Structure 1
Amino acid sequence: MTAVSGTQRLPQSVAVDAGFTAWAALIVLTLVCIVLQDSLPWVVTFPTAWQVPIAAAINVMSDGVVPVIQPLFRSISALLDVPMRGMQACLSWLPWPATMAIVVVLSLKSGGYRLALFSVIALGYMIIAGYWPQSMNTLGLVLLAVPIAVGLGFALGLLGYRFPRFRPGLLAFLDLMQTVPAFAYLIPLLLLFGFGPVVGLIASAIYATPPMVRNTMLGLDRVPSDITEAGLMSGCTRRQQFWHVEVPTALPQILVGFNQSTMAALSMVIVAAIIGGFEDIGWEVLSSMRKAEFGQSILSGLVIALLAILIDRLTLGFAKERPNGPTPIMAWMSWRRLAAIVVIALVAAAAQRFFLPDAWALPSTTLREQIGIVNVALTSVVRDYAGFFNGARNVVLYSLLLPLRLGIVGAATPALWGFAVTPPMIAVYVALWLAIAGLAMKAYGWQLAVATCMAGLLLFQGFAGFPWPALVLGIGLLAFRLAGIGLACFAMLGFGFILVSGLSAPLSQSMYLTLLAVILCLILGGSLGVWAAHSERVSKILRPICDGLQTVPQFVFLIPALMFFKVGEFTALIAIMLYAIVPPIRYVEHGLRNVRADVVEAVRQMGATPSQVLMHAKFPLALPVIMLGINQTIMAALSMLAIAALVGTRDLGQQVYIALGKADAGLGIVAGLSIAFLAILADRLTQAGARQAGSIESHWKS
């Protein structure tokens, strides 16, 4: 028995030694590159001679292919233009009381009295604010894009379910679709379909398809085998079994996909307005932001937020069953009664339009027409407190953003910090980080010590000045240690693609901005999650705030950030954090609340203090869930990167936005694929880390 245990320990010790040797060699390589960067500048700045004109080659191909296939896509655009304008005309023709009545009865059926009251408030605000026609145009685009996305998503999900050999390729394609920035979608669509609102419709439908595909496959995969066997034993044909047994069983999960697809289509409204805006809410938000009319931006942005929350609650109410069953009003509101009320509302609307065309007219004076006062008030607030806002921005800029981007050696200049770095300062810095690394090794092992050393080197050089060979090899080594040779090769090939494409500078900007946003979100959001896990009152306060932040389209987050802090990287950082802070709050709270009570109680009986229980029991057990939260935080930050490019960043998202303005398909595709690569790599790394955390949790429990 001793011999067996000894042979089991030997590979682990060898692996530890091999891992330590590899990371130590990487640290030495990084130091050598830093020392030799003046004599060998190519170790920091990727040589121009090594770059390959990939974007230009894509443009050459595009110039040859697009004119050939463009007539087909323009005809599709013309065909889609007819139902879209018809849908918008119908919604504009329908009097607002009829629309409100239909939405209210749907709300009663979906969520009861509370949702019905919220729908009245939301629609009433759209009328009072003066955005009812624009809201109906937006709703028309969503109502046409969602069926296209749902139909296409259900078909692809069925393909992945019926033919498992196609599933890996389909999942990889879905990963690519969900990680490529929305702006990158618009460039090829703009070339093929032309400029106009139909391009926004098509982009919304494409962007909203992946959630439906994934939920369709998930729902069909989860159909219990006993239900399937019961259908077979009842004599069902394959088609009958699918439509009458499997689909009804999987319907709740498919409806969740419908909900997510609807929200994804709505989130594209403002982005689509860039290439074909018309009288809709997205165009109102975009135009008011361009004019720096913050009051109007807030009014129109609130319309999108309310519309998004209303649609989310409506569709989610139909998708999920209530734990305590339907309320009396929901039970009374049968589908037959609901259909009857809708028909009555439509007949009354037609009669009113025919006999009393001027009745129920929209208000002649609205908040939108009085918004000049709000604009002046907001401008005065921003002006009066400009010192505070500028001071907060400068503190973060000079203490966090610049050191992380330029490094201490680049930020510590007389112009920025008032002094320059001297050799004694460098020696003190090195000694400090070595001491921290020594303490980390003594307390937690060599892995944390290596991470501390790499963090010290990165902070010293900054992302812009960090040697690219060390960066590529370091991430490749991390991928190898977490997930094996396959992910390591993917990581190194992806970074090689970005470097040879000439996007090394935007890459460093994207990495440092995303990293800083994720770290700050994990600190702030994680702290709020810990607080909420131990306080029901805090949890109840945070829950609707998180719901609102997750429902509001990405573009809306730019409004408050731009209003108070103007354009710049700090504004982009604030917008990214507002969008990415929800996952750490929710996953940390969920993970800590669902820790096994018997384990926590056993630790308390051993005399542990509350902080010791939290750090040494709850956190280790909740680590797999927290790792998933980190994954979602990174995904949210990267997805917001391209949107934040509108406020003055110089990262990969800005390259996509520049390509959209120039209709440069090559640059847009290369930059979009680069962001997609970073998102997929981060997703795979954090998933591998979550699996390792799960094994650690199992070992801890045993």
Structure 2
Amino acid sequence: MTAPAAIARSPRRLAIAPALLPWCGLGVLTVLCLLLKTELPWLVNFPKQWTLPLASYINAVTDAVVAVIQPGFRALSALLDAPMRGARLALAWLPWPAVMLAVAALALKSSGERLAIFALATLAYILLAGYWPQSMNTLALVLLAVPISTVLGFLLGVLGYARPRLRPVLNGALDLMQTVPAFAYLIPLLLLFGFGPVVGLIASAIYATPPTVRNTMLGLDRVPAAISEAGLMSGCTRRQQFWQVEVPTALPQLLVGFNQTTMAALSMVIVAAIIGGFEDIGWEVLSSMRKAEFGQSILSGLVIALLAILIDRLTIGFAKPPETGPTRAMRWMTPRRLVLSLAVALALAIVIRLVAPGATFLPETALRTEMGGVNQWLLGIVRDYAWFFDGVRNTVLYCLLLPMRVGISGAATPAIWGFALSPTMAAVYFVLVLAVAGLAMRRFGAREALVVLAAGVILYTGFLGLPWPDFILAVALLAGQVAGYRLGLFALAGFALILVNGLWPQLVQSLYLCTLAVLLCLLIGGSLGVWAAHSDRVSRILKPICDALQTMPQFVFLIPALMFFKVGEFTALIAIMLYAIVPPIRYVEHGLRHVRADVVEAVEQMGATPLQTLLQAKLPLALPVVMLGLNQTIMAALSMLAIAALVGTRDLGQAVYVALGKADAGMGLIAGLSIAFLAILADRLIQAAVARSTAA
């Protein structure tokens, strides 16, 4: 290369991409804000006198509207109360042998003899544990909520399919329904319907509707054009084509939606117990947690988990037949034999009730009555090994949680770390950050160097010490560059709304807790996913564990965390991680297992080691799938905020929970919409990033 050519090329190496120029300007603004935050404290702490009383305005409107329409909703509540009581009485009337026979027949038809054995074992455990009446009351709630959700969801899905122009509005409403915490929309439901089991029924039906809507639109969209054209050529009218051609073709996807709707309704049983509990499993879990009866909490929580797994396997078995084909037991259980088995179960119930009308046939001494010794034993373990549990909690709290919340500058005090951060130490820290950023610049580029600098600043100041103008502008700029100016404006408006309503401290608490939980889930879950992708034995071991974690209601995750680590942010972190760790395991394994084999073979033939093949070939090719797992992890972490508020957090979830206790519809709505805004923003950002990565 000649000297003029080298001279001509050198400026290109030093040139900064135009997209990075706004980030450089934002970096300068950040430095100025950090230097001036002592003199201008409003840069970090938004003044209370600048907040808007939007919650009061919403409460005023809500009170006026509720006073007018409340009688109609109370009448609807009384109307729904009759089938609720009827379902409870019907299930209570059925003796347990008849229920076991009917469920075993359904399990045989759904997935074969293994599920039938599991179903009988689950029902036997519920019976011996002493939670049979409570389980039947829970099933009454689910059996009434699921048909309401299914019919409503199917109608909305057909509307979205038939009217494409309405689909953006419908998708936005579904996003809100799936991301706003249940506690937030329980407040207006309580004001309209009053306190009682019907409120839990309606809340469960609302929460469980979106899966049916989405799967209905997806199933109808995927009907092949050739099948539709064949229906038209056969002389079908539009109505006949829809009901006799399109709906049967989309039926497998509709059944998947039914499965997801059923699981969503079941996951609401404890939330329903909070605002209108009666003698059901959700109420048992909630009351035992409040009394610190960990033995009963584990027993009742295991009942919910087993019921969730059983219902999931039953419904998904009808929705998706086994890939290897039906088993011998499934073929034996023909539709005619299934109907006959259900008829025999009903006849058995009638005979038992005629012979012994007043008998309960329940064990006199159940496991729940013998849990006093177990409670003392568990409390003894917590007491005897308190040094270990407290050590784990304090280590994570002081070395990880606290530095992320208040920063190294706030954590480095004699009371916490044993020393104070001197100016020299701070200078050494920033020199190291600049050195790492320089290495990133040399190895990867300017974009990665800016990421290192941003991480170094956040780690030093903590989330609570970040100036809010810099944070809002940074997220809006990121959203604008990744997904377009509309998402950038959406981010700007959403954060501004949170800011002026006085919820910025709660937002920062939510962000730091969810960020840490997501990072740890990606680290631990991603490692397990990589291991499972390269080992069939590990994959087989992890699959039932992931199935159990994915089907358990959210409240159940609080039981072990609360038992060993008491209340606090660390307990909330453990509960969030238990709920959000499944997506990275599943998506990383799925992505790595489906990397093109010829690409992997080509890399290995070039002499790459297994680690090089993983880092330089498999993970980059599986990145779009891994990013989808990241999306699901963020959604799960945000959805657990309101649940984790029960163990002592101070975030947006706690604001929603406090608003529920005060019946403050305004603050509950604003805090709930704030969580929904974070979830929707993260979803749109990751979807845009995945689309770019796939296109590249």
1:98 corresponds to: 98
CA distance in 2, matches of 1:16, 1:222: 45
Secondary structure of the structure 2 residue equivalent to 1:463 = coil
Q: Which deviations, in whole Å up to 9, do the C-alpha atoms of 1:398-423 show, x marking residues without a partner? A: 01111101111111112211222111
Q: Please say if 1:418 is aligned against 2:415.
A: no
Residue deviations 1:551-579, cap 9 Å, x none? Answer: 11111000000000000000000000000
Amino acid at match of 1:546: C
* Within-5 A mapping of 1:508-587: 508-587=508-587
Deviations, residues 221-248 of structure 1 (Å, cap 9, x unaligned): 0000011011111111111111110000
Structure 2 unaligned blocks of 5 or more: 1-8
Match of 2:5 in 1: none
5 Å-filtered alignment, 1:643-662, equals 643-662=643-662
Q: Matched residue of 2:421: which SS? A: coil
Query: Which amino acid in structure 1 is aligned with residue 551 of structure 2?
Result: T
Q: Tell me how far 1:359 sits from its aligned partner.
A: 5.8
Q: Report how far residue 358 of structure 1 moved.
A: 5.6
Partner of 2:498: 498
Counting only pairs closer than 5 Å after superposition, residues 237-636 of structure 1 correspond to structure 2 as 237-357=237-357, 361-636=361-636
Matching residue of 2:684: 684
DSSP 3-state at the match of 1:339: helix
Residue 45 of structure 1 is matched in structure 2 by 45
Q: Is the 8 A contact 1:97 1:360 kept in 2?
A: no
Provide the rounded CA distance (Å) in 2 between the counterparts of 1:633 and 1:88.
Answer: 36
CA distance in 1, matches of 2:332, 2:121: 23
Paired with 2:492 and 2:663, the residues of 1 have a C-alpha distance of: 30
Higher mean C-alpha displacement, 133-142 vs 531-540: 531-540
- Post-superposition Cα deviations, 1:576-601, rounded to whole Å, max 9, x if no partner, equal 00000000011011111111111111
Compute the displacement of 1:360 (Å).
6.6
User: Compared with structure 1, are the counterparts of its residues 365 and 602 closer, same or farther at alpha carbon in structure 2 (3 Å cutoff)?
Assistant: same
- Secondary structure at the aligned position of 1:650 is classed as coil
- CA deviations on 1:621-656 (whole Å, 9 max, x unpaired) are 000001001000000000111110100000000000
1:114 match = 114
* TM superposition shift of 1:185: 1.9
Match of 2:4 in 1: none
C-alpha distance in structure 2 between counterparts of 1:95 and 1:154, whole Å: 34
Q: Aligned partner of 2:456: which letter?
A: G
Q: What is the alpha-carbon distance in structure 2 between the residues aligned to residue 88 and residue 653 of structure 1?
A: 32
SS of residue matched to 2:567: coil
Alignment match, 2:168: 168
Letter in 2 for 1:59: N
Quick one: distance in 1 between partners of 2:287 and 2:232? 58
Distance apart, 1:195 and its partner CA: 0.2
Displacement of 1:16 in angstroms is 5.6
Taking the aligned partners of 2:230 and 2:682, their CA distance within structure 1 comes to 43
Distance in 1 separating the partners of 2:15 and 2:389: 51
Structure-2 change in CA distance of 1:116 and 1:15 (3 Å): farther
Match of 2:3 in 1: none
Matched positions, count: 686
Aligned counterparts of 1:54 and 1:333: Cα–Cα separation in 2: 60
- Taking a change above 3 Å as real, the CA distance of residues 450 and 395 of structure 1, as seen in their structure-2 partners, is same
Are the equivalent residues in 2 in contact too, given 1:112–1:330 (CA < 8 A)? yes
Alpha-carbon deviation of 1:49?
Answer: 2.4
Counterpart amino acid of residue 563 in structure 1: M
- Superposition TM-score, scaled by structure 1 size: 0.96
Question: Closer, same or farther in 2 for the Cα pair 1:179/1:661, shift >3 Å?
Answer: same
CA distance in 1, matches of 2:19, 2:227: 49
Change (3 A) 1:322 1:15: farther
When the two chains are superposed, the root-mean-square deviation of aligned CA atoms in Å is 1.3
String of CA shifts for 1:290-344, please: whole Å, max 9, x gaps.
Answer: 0000000000000000000000000000000221221122122122221122122
Q: Which residue of 2 aligns with 1:183?
A: 183
Gaps of at least 5 residues in structure 1 are 1-8, 697-702
Distance of 2:441 and 2:14 partners within structure 1: 18
CA contact (8 A) 1:405 1:509 kept: yes
Residue 518 of structure 1 and its aligned partner are, at CA, apart by 0.2
Residue correspondence of structure 1 range 102-251 to structure 2 within 5 A: 102-251=102-251
CA displacement at 1:456 relative to structure 2: 0.6
The one-letter code sitting in structure 1 at the alignment partner of 2:277 is G
Q: Percent of aligned positions with the same letter in both sequences?
A: 70
CA distance in 2, matches of 1:649, 1:360: 43
Letter aligned with residue 135 of structure 2: S
Report the secondary structure of 2:649's partner residue.
coil
Q: What residue identity is the alignment partner of 1:622?
A: A
Judged with a 3 Å threshold, the aligned counterparts in structure 2 of structure 1 residues 403 and 236 are, in CA distance, closer, same or farther, namely same
> Any idea what SS the aligned residue of 2:331 has?
helix
Contact 1:160/1:217 (<8 A) preserved: yes
Q: 1:349 to 1:163 in 2, by over 3 A?
A: same
Q: Secondary structure at the match of 1:160?
A: helix
Structure 1's 13 and 176: CA in aligned 2 closer, same or farther, altered over 3 A? Answer: farther
Aligned mates of 1:13, 1:156 — CA distance in 2 = 55
Q: Aligned partners of 2:181, 2:63: CA distance in 1, in Å? A: 23
Residue 272 to residue 15, structure 1, CA distance change in 2 (3 Å)? farther
Deviation of residue 356 (structure 1)? 2.5
Structure 1 CA distance, aligned partners of 2:674 and 2:601? 48
Cα distance in 2 between the residues matched to 1:538 and 1:322: 22
Per the alignment, residue 699 of structure 1 pairs with: none
Question: What secondary structure is seen at the aligned counterpart in 2 of 1:419?
Answer: coil
AA of the residue aligned to 1:674: S
Measured in 1, the distance between the counterparts of 2:115 and 2:355 equals: 33
Asked whether the 8 Å contact 1:204–1:265 carries over to 2, the reply is yes
What does the per-residue CA deviation read over 1:47-75, in whole Å, with 9 as the maximum and x for residues that have no partner?
A: 22221111111001111111110001000
Contact 1:581 1:633 in 2 (8 A): yes
For 1:510-551, what per-residue CA distance to the aligned partner results, in whole angstroms no more than 9, with x for missing partners?
A: 000000000000000000011111111111111111011001
Alpha-carbon contact 1:58-1:666 (below 8 Å) kept: yes
SS in 1 for 2:361: coil
